[in-house]
Amino acid sequence: MVIEYQKKVFFAPNTSDQDIVDRAIKILIENGINDKDIQINYNTNDLEEGDLYISYDPPDLVIRTVYQKKTSGIIKMKSIAMINL
């Protein structure tokens, strides 16, 4: 599966297990995300429309795309894929 994205890729691994983080990043790269575009970041306020937000919800990576950022700061996302680690 190739994951298409336009802007930034925020990865919020929600774990301190470096092996899981490394495995997740490797899988993201295998699915078409440039390793230079992946930022480990939990701050959803930095997201813009077109960005990807990826979180780890064991045993899956949940990939969401930002489709709207309201002036109030509310971020709207929709899930576009789940990848099993």
Domain boundaries, the chain: 9-84
Residue 39 predicted with pLDDT over 80: yes
* Predicted pLDDT of residue 1: 76
* Predicted pLDDT of residue 58: 92
Q: Chain centroid to CA 12: how far?
A: 7
The residue assigned the tokens 């064991």 is 58
Q: How confident is the model at residue 9 (pLDDT cuts 50, 70, 90)?
A: very high
Q: How confident is the model at residue 15 (pLDDT cuts 50, 70, 90)?
A: confident
* Predicted pLDDT of residue 24: 95
CATH number for domain 9-84, candidates 1.10.287, 2.40.240, 3.40.50, 3.30.1050:
2.40.240
Longest dimension (CA), the chain: 38
* Predicted pLDDT of residue 3: 86
- What is the rounded CA–CA span in Å between residue 35 and residue 77? 22
Phi-psi group of 16: left, alpha or beta (phi > 0 → left; psi -120 to 50 → alpha; rest → beta) = alpha
